[in-house]
Amino acid sequence: QLLLTALRDLWASEPLAYSFHDFMDDSLSHPAWGYYSSGRVGFGESRLAADFTTFPISMRPFFGAILADRLHSLWLATAAKAGEGDASGGQETFVVVELGAGTGVLAHDVLLRIRDAWPAMYAELLYVIGERSAALRAIQRETNREFVDAGKLTVAEVDARGHGSGLALRAAVWSALGAAADAERPRGVVLSNELPDAFGVEKLAPPQDSAKGS
């Protein structure tokens, strides 16, 4: 209803081209009424209590633990040479960036597994969540309160669709690291779970000839 009211106001003042892509994007992420941005989204294990579920929720903590073990392998594989910030020296930050983190449970389970199983990696680890929705950013911080307070996780406003997202993501990571804008790129991983399906898509009509022949 909010969307329809806003559209009527816009169309009353000036002609407006409003594509299916725009409609889908606003429906999911508009600051006032978007499904994700308003905080109305329901994640959960039970179909009766939630709109949908995903592996980080339905298979927790095992999904996060499996991913954490893979991240540990990457941490070992990308370690600098001895004396230059090796895996045992705790001298080089390893950054994990998650885009579109939902309620933040994947970040929580990954960090928990690494803290308990791989303390040397945990000492070097920084987890950065890039999230477009202000409502979800608040939930993500609360889900990971212990890791936020420990300085191991930070949540930043990042729109992963494009539109300068690379610069926003870089700024978020550099800020979390306390690094200068011209600092060298840190080692680490960028990950996401079921993110592109929440991007607005283009609706295409079939060619006129094909439509007549079908």
pLDDT, greater one: 206 or 128: 128
Mean of the per-residue pLDDT values of the chain: 77
Cβ proximity of 200 and 28 under 8 Å: yes
- The amino acid sitting at 142 is E
DSSP tag of 186: P
Q: Following DSSP, what letter does each residue of 106-139 receive, concatenated? A: HHHHHHHHHHHH-HHHHHHEEEEEEES-HHHHHH
Q: Return the amino acid letter for 119.
A: P
Residue type for position 189: V
Q: How many residues in total does the chain contain?
A: 214
The DSSP symbol for 182 reads: T
Half-sphere exposure of 126 (CA within 13 A, CB side): 22
**Residue type for 20, please?**
F
Kindly report whether the global pTM for this prediction surpasses the value 0.85: no
Residues 44-102 pLDDT 10s: 655 555 666 676 776 778 899 999 999 999 999 988 654 444 444 445 889 999 998 88
